[in-house]
Amino acid sequence: MLISTIILFLIFGYTCSGESNKFEATIGCSQYNTDHGYNYQHPYFSTGRFQNIQISKDKVIQIRLGVLGYNDGHIRLAQVMFPYNNTEMNEIVLSGWANTKTVVRRYTRDQPNSTTNLKVLKEQASNGMLSHFAPFMFTMMIHPGGLVQLTRDDDSVPFLEFYDAKLLAKYIGFCNWDRPLVFFYDCPLEVDRRRCEGIAFN
């Protein structure tokens, strides 16, 4: 309820006086809201059904995503829809630990609240990267062989890169830690820059 109130305030609180509405970046995205916490059985979405996914001739996969919330945007990449049977998978924690650092890890998940064999693949500072006032929008590029790059909208250099030859992204899931989050996924790769006049938000 709280996060819905915040979203409505942010969307309708912006004016059309020439200032850009940061929520325009989410037009055309699907949305998943959660305040369930880390150990909840969050759903996983088939990337094969995404309408806006792009796969190049070199088999590089591009998926545009976004996170709205103060900290700990967890993105999980799995090979199956229900990764609870000793499934090896990846998890990207965007600006966790009180919005201070981003961590990528691989682990084996045997149930929603239990993992084993955790290995940290990347850790870097990300002080204040996330916000509950504006969505953090980025594109994930998955290269053959396991190189993964995340690049923020309007940037040309990735803010995060890691490598995992075992990574499979047939399904993607999202979760929060201690605060409610809104995730945007299957977003158009071309950002619509229209002003707020005449824009309908669903």
Residue 191: per-residue pLDDT: 66
pLDDT in tens, the chain (202 residues): 545 444 444 444 444 444 678 899 999 999 999 999 999 999 999 999 999 999 999 999 999 999 999 999 999 999 999 999 899 999 999 999 999 999 999 999 988 888 999 999 999 999 999 999 999 999 999 999 999 999 999 999 999 999 999 999 999 999 999 999 999 999 999 765 444 444 444 4
Separation between Cα atoms, residue 185 and residue 166, nearest integer Å? 23
Residue 196: per-residue pLDDT: 42
Joined tokens for residue 140 = 């994930």
The domains located in the chain, with CATH, are 2-187 (2.60.120.200)
Say if residues 31 and 180 touch (Cβ distance below 8 Å). Answer: no
* 107-115 contacts, C-beta under 8 A, 24 or more apart: 109/78, 109/83, 109/84, 110/84, 110/85, 110/86, 111/84, 112/39, 112/40, 112/41, 112/42, 112/84, 113/38, 113/39
pTM for this one? 0.85
Beta bridge partners of 125: 101
